[in-house]
Amino acid sequence: MDSFTATAARMPELRAEIARHPERFRVLTGERPTGRLHLGHYFGTIRERVRLQSLGVETFVVVADYQVITDRDVARDIRENVYEAVLDYLAAGLDPRSTTIFTHSAVPALNQLVLPFLSLVTEAELHRNPTVKAELAASGRALSGLLLTYPVHQAADILFCKGNLVPVGKDNLPHVEVTRTIARRFNERYGAVFPEPVGLVTSAPELPGLDGRKMSKSYGNAIALGMTADETAAVIRRARTDSERTITYDPENRPEVAGLLATAAVVLGRTPADIADEICGAGAVALKRLTTEAVNEFLSAHRARRAALSIEDAAAVLRAGNERAQNIANDTLHEVRSAMGMLY
């Protein structure tokens, strides 16, 4: 039984435990602010964060601004992207009174944990990490020290607040395993300080972009949560389809049509095949019209809440979150230095 299968088999029991005793868990999750958040982010991660928050699970969300340069030369539009992400978090239902939202660069004590953590893993272990290999292949660049040690930075993100629950998809489980390894080795070498976190495998749909490829701002195939209704209509109208009039769901041979069908399906709570059968011979124009109406209806409440917020609101949330995260990181770093005999 592979690691993912074994982990997935434990999920019903873990979810039941979370529902019974949410106070026993502390979640760390987040993303790199490389662009505007889109529908893929909402269904892939944000919705799950709101659900955990509503159960009473203490949640930390890191806007990992330092990690933007993991696989790129510069952090373009970083400040705007960070504030835009916070606005979407708030509009989606994350409450800063119970969820700590903070930026990576504003918590230096967190980043100091990377140094002792690096001593707990080998170069070979880092090279074997699937995410490191995938990101390296996608970047087309030489392997940087930051990319090689990316899993260790993520371990520091999780362990600085003693997070013990990490929502992940199948591809991110290896990061949780690295974090568990680092926590275990530190505890064995210096004394019990850290929990060994567990991965909470999400059942989020893998939402493709409008062209059937991976949803990405760089591909121009994503519907950003902060788009207006007119902007959404425009990006769907520009989406490519094919010359075949009858609409069918065939991701392999008709990826562009499949991408539109998948987008409509996820916001309507239906299957792509069901929508394809409904449209059938009405063609791509009807498909785009249905998709536009469905997405705009789904996002209308989110947009209304977002419009009531300002950049100043986002900045205030970050100031409070950064202060709380730094206080927690200072306490954890003090524990680490004490365990290592480095208090002077």
CB 156 within 8 A of CB 114: yes
pLDDT of residue 214: 81
3-state SS of the chain? Answer: CCHHHHHHHCHHHHHHHHHHCHHHCEEEEEECCCCCCEHHHHHHHHHHHHHHHHHCCEEEEEECCHHHHHCCCCCCCHHHHHHHHHHHHHHHCCCCCCEEEEEHHHCHHHHHCHHHHHCCCCHHHHHHCHHHHHHHHHHCCCCCHHHHCHHHHHHHHHHCCCCCEEEECHHHHHHHHHHHHHHHHHHHHHCCCCCCCEEEECCCCCCECCCCCECCHHHCCCCECCCCHHHHHHHHHHCCCCCCCCCCCCCCCCHHHHHHHHHHHHHHCCCHHHHHHHHHHHHHHHHHHHHHHHHHHHHHHHHHHHHCCCHHHHHHHHHHHHHHHHHHHHHHHHHHHHHCCCCC
pLDDT of residue 118: 97
Each residue's pLDDT tens digit, 210-261: 888 887 766 778 899 999 999 999 999 999 999 999 999 999 999 999 999 9
pTM for the model stands at 0.92
pLDDT of residue 1: 43
pLDDT of residue 174: 83
Q: Residues in the chain with pLDDT < 70?
A: 1-3, 204-205, 217-218
Question: CA-to-CA distance for 35 and 76, rounded, in angstroms?
Answer: 9
